[in-house]
Structure 1
């Protein structure tokens, strides 16, 4: 414990921070700007370079840890049982959550003409149930606890797809739309809260700060990736439809809904992996 305290006292892992920031920027900038620039060569080179820089980051962090330094992301934390799955699930949850809210905002404000206030109120059911489920899931029956994570991801996949289908005709979706919003909120909360709690419950006290920092960083990267990737998909599809309007925007949203459902389905599969252990 004394050695690790000394490691942390040596300060910030600035090279690691620069490498990670560069990798994330090289990945997200072309996703954000590539669509409006008609995907020039530099955007594809940037995406490829992001993988190279991320590999350099991983190698640097491993070497720093072996030499007794204090890496930005401690490799030993990733070796904690279940932590790798937790990183994947939290990335998926945050990407789906941020991507869903972003593309839906683009549609209901740009396509349907909602005001910012009305758009925010439209999301209220999703936000409320996300918080309520996150605070209460541990009191649910023991018989369903093992199924919460895969079930949550599956519910969010079905619900996100339902949102796209309900809005596909350019209308407002009717009352069933809000049922689907509730399903998205419940599903994402079940994918996130049990994952975070169970991952941190296996961490030794001396590794708690590193594990918490890792999962917080992953959550932020997931949100950024979700906005960039699903936003680019929406805008690309919208541009391909020609003149913007409610119908073309609804079509772009439906394409994103299929992609969001697919991403959530991957989270459900990861939940099944855990259940079989």
Structure 2
């Protein structure tokens, strides 16, 4: 049979193409990563309800060890020529690690915000689910509008979109805490802070995701996309677990408006998380300029 008619598998003598398809499943790394994520998230989700028992702290410590073991297994697999779940080549892509951090912090703040304010509006202020959802709509509209239209801004602005967006979000979180700390609905100030909040989170998330994916090789696009999607989901989970726990812990304190006070404290924490994200995003921009 002529060589050009040979099946691809026979021409390659059964070897996998290192640059593309046919990747095997890195089962040990997958099992260790799944266990690490489970040991991290279960105590964060149940710790408040269970009174932070000893097993929760043990679980958190063990999760750190398993994350370290996962990195060792992935590095060893890559040295042997295997296909790790997250290749070092993708992690070395310009700005990828900082993009993962920025996206995780942005989604953590967003998820913590949605969790805490939903509980405050419904349980603390007695709003219906419909009214609460309509309150969120103002933030969702600006988030979506920014995500669809940020490419129309000048190209020279793009490196600064994420830092600016996170700073806007930090200011908006602080404004929400001030608007709601008295136990009322906040009036016009509530909506005046929700509108820029959605825009700020949109500027932090969508450009970071798009610009990070634009810096990886085409063959790594799927893997990089999966990595950033995982960062998004883990950020949301950790935001609910940590910021939500902070809100629930503050409900037990005495005061005329315990829910309002709890939400004000949580808003300050969300502003701090956003500010940290802004610092990371600025460093990403500076490092990109130095490489250029």
TM-score (norm 2): 0.89
**Aligned-partner Cα distance in 1 for 2:253–2:202:** 34
What SS is found at the alignment partner of 2:85?
coil
Contact residue 157 and residue 262 of structure 1 kept, 8 A: yes
What SS is found at the alignment partner of 1:146?
helix
Contact residue 200 and residue 208 of structure 1 kept, 8 A: yes
TM-score (norm 1): 0.93
**Aligned-partner Cα distance in 2 for 1:241–1:212:** 46
What SS is found at the alignment partner of 2:49?
coil
1:190 aligned partner: 203
- Residue deviations 1:48-82 (CA, integer Å, cap 9, x gap): 11111111111111112222222222222001111
**Aligned-partner Cα distance in 2 for 1:158–1:147:** 17
- Residue deviations 1:126-160 (CA, integer Å, cap 9, x gap): 11111110111111134533321111000000101
Specify whether residues 146 and 5 from structure 1 end up closer, same or farther in structure 2 by C-alpha distance, changes over 3 A only: closer
Between Structure 1 and Structure 2, how many residues are aligned? 272
What SS is found at the alignment partner of 2:51?
coil
Query: Paired residue for 2:271, among 254, 261, 268?
Result: 261
Query: Paired residue for 1:252, among 252, 262, 273?
Result: 262
**Aligned-partner Cα distance in 1 for 2:156–2:93:** 26
1:202 aligned partner: 215
Q: CA deviation at 1:120?
A: 1.0
**Aligned-partner Cα distance in 2 for 1:225–1:154:** 21
Query: Paired residue for 2:229, among 211, 216, 220?
Result: 216
> Which stretches of structure 1, 4 residues or more, deviate above 4 A after TM superposition?
none
Q: CA deviation at 1:16?
A: 2.1
Contact residue 7 and residue 69 of structure 1 kept, 8 A: no
User: 1:127 aligned to 2:137?
Assistant: no
2:169 aligned partner: 156
- Unpaired runs of 5+ residues, structure 1, are none
Query: Paired residue for 1:3, among 18, 26, 36?
Result: 18
Name which one, 1 or 2, has greater alpha-carbon Rg.
2
**Aligned-partner Cα distance in 2 for 1:40–1:52:** 20
2:120 aligned partner: 107
- Residue deviations 1:90-138 (CA, integer Å, cap 9, x gap): 1011111111111111111110111112111110011111111011111
What SS is found at the alignment partner of 2:216?
coil
